[in-house]
Amino acid sequence: MNTLAGIAFMAILFQQPAAPAYKRDVPDSLVSKTKITEDSARAIALRRVPGGTIQELELEREDGKLVYSFDIKVAGKAGITEVQVDAVTGKIVAVEHESS
């Protein structure tokens, strides 16, 4: 392997994953109780709001359930759509459009 290829390989190997481009409130004390990863929950939420961009994520207990709560904005549409994904089962438990 030439030096340039070796440097490129090492850069890829040790590259840190990019931080999400949205505000996150994800307490470590709750993450340990989840069975669904944030990445999986994000994919589930975005399938529910096609073309949306996540603005904010909160991992919280709501109505006795541990949920990922995503605020999703769709370009050209007023307000945001909140999608709650059960952090244990991966099922969508609530979807609500909030006008601004």
User: Is the residue at 5 inside a domain?
Assistant: no
User: Is the residue at 83 inside a domain?
Assistant: yes
Residue 41 CB neighbours (<10 A):
24
Torsions phi, psi for 25 (to 5 deg): -125, 90
CATH number for the domain that contains residue 22: 3.10.450.40
Q: Which two tokens stand for residue 19?
A: 């931080």
Distance CA 91, CA 63 (A): 15
pLDDT along the chain (100 residues), means of 10: 56 54 92 96 96 96 96 94 98 91
Distance CA 78, CA 80 (A): 7
Would you give the DSSP letter of residue 20? P
User: Is the residue at 2 inside a domain?
Assistant: no
CB 25 within 8 A of CB 61: no
> Measuring CA to CA, which residue among 64, 50, 28, 100 is closest to residue 83?
50
pTM above 0.85, yes or no: no
pLDDT in tens, 30-51: 999 999 999 999 999 999 999 9
What confidence score (pLDDT) does residue 98 get?
Answer: 87
Query: What domain range includes position 23?
Result: 18-98
User: Is the residue at 9 inside a domain?
Assistant: no
Q: Where are the alpha helices (DSSP H) in 14-94?
A: 28-31, 38-48
Domain count, the chain: 1
User: Is the residue at 25 inside a domain?
Assistant: yes
